[in-house]
Amino acid sequence: MSERLRIGVFDSGIGGLSVLRHLVAVLPHLHYLYVGDTARVPYGNKSADTIALYAAQSAAFLRNRGVDMVVVACNTVSATSLPVVEAVAQVPVVGMIEPAVRAALEATRTNRIGVIGTRATIESQAYELALYAHSRREGLAVFSHACPLLVALAEEGWLAHPATYAIVEEYLRPLLEAAVDTLVLGCTHFPLLAEVFEQVAPLHLIDPGYWAARQVQQILGIPNSEHPLRHAPHIEYFVTDISSNFAAVARQFLGFEAYPLHRITLDHLVPSTL
């Protein structure tokens, strides 16, 4: 039964492939449909209204394809527009915030948690509010910081470049001064820079994509797969633009080729629920 489940995964662009990678590792036998709005990325610098409209269009596309569940791989969409996606998708929706928040609260020893993400994610305060809402202990302190430059550095493949170290140090300084012991990597691109973060400071790093994949596994009630896949995972990719470096950047996020790749248009999909 579970082998036939169709999981829709969507993101503002290529970054969500870092989440799909975890899903495929944890749940290799499902059928995945990945939507990347590569024509309109980045979402992280846009207003909440625009992000909600774009997110609704991706959700409508996946609903029309009959998926059984939607995973919102984009932290910016998860932070600003999850209720809109839920209304449009009409199937269970898993975002990045809740799984990451639970993991961060488990990981912290000092009750001081840092969150980094795009400007829209940080301005929404979604991580902060969810952390405070789920914390059962007194005295939780959350410190958030927008790190927009890291998106471009990850896509450029500057994963161990001296410039990346310098920028990560600069961005982390206020969080380290606040003595956080746990850091939520609240953007699809940041887990690619995990080694840089590890070198700059010894923190518990929380990769929301990994914890979201575990949540999907829990919801579906599928035990850990004992049988490795004997064939390539069943994934179809739908993107709104294909740039000349798409294949190379996608491979970096996914770990293998993004194929078969379909070019789609989303902007005619204005769901009636909006």
Q: Is residue 95 a contact point for ligand DGL (CB under 6 A)? A: no
CB of 155 to ligand DGL, least distance (A): 9
Question: Would you say the C-alpha torsion 77, 99, 25, 249 has a positive or negative sign?
Answer: positive
Query: Distance between CA 193 and CA 222 in Å, rounded?
Result: 30
Q: Is residue 215 a contact point for ligand DGL (CB under 6 A)? A: no
Query: Distance between CA 154 and CA 151 in Å, rounded?
Result: 5
Of 41, 52, 104, 130, the one binding ligand DGL (CB under 6 A) is 41
Query: Distance between CA 60 and CA 238 in Å, rounded?
Result: 13
Show the tokens assigned to 143: 């410190």
Of 58, 118, 124, 164, the one binding ligand DGL (CB under 6 A) is 118
> Which residues are within 8 A (CB) of 114 and not within 5 positions of it... i.e. 6 or more apart?
142, 143, 144, 145, 172, 175, 178, 180, 182, 183, 184, 203
Q: Which is nearer to ligand DGL, 29 or 62 (CB)?
A: 62
Stretch that binds ligand DGL, among 36-44, 57-65, 99-107, 229-237 (CB under 6 A): 36-44
- Tell me, residue by residue from 119 to 138, as one string, x for binding to ligand DGL by CB under 6 A and - for no binding: --x-----------------
Classified as helix, coil or strand, 98 is helix
Query: Distance between CA 76 and CA 80 in Å, rounded?
Result: 6
CB of 210 to ligand DGL, least distance (A): 14
Q: Using only C-alpha atoms, what is the Rg of the chain?
A: 18
Contact call for residues 204 and 172 (beta carbons, < 8 A): no
Active site residues: 74, 187
Stretch that binds ligand DGL, among 115-123, 131-139, 156-164, 225-233 (CB under 6 A): 115-123
Of 93, 153, 187, 235, the one binding ligand DGL (CB under 6 A) is 187
Q: Is residue 239 a contact point for ligand DGL (CB under 6 A)? A: no
Only one residue has tokens 């036939």, namely 4
CB of 231 to ligand DGL, least distance (A): 29
Of 182, 188, 240, 252, the one binding ligand DGL (CB under 6 A) is 188
Binding site for ligand DGL (CB under 6 A): 11-13, 15, 41-44, 74-76, 117-118, 121, 151, 187-189
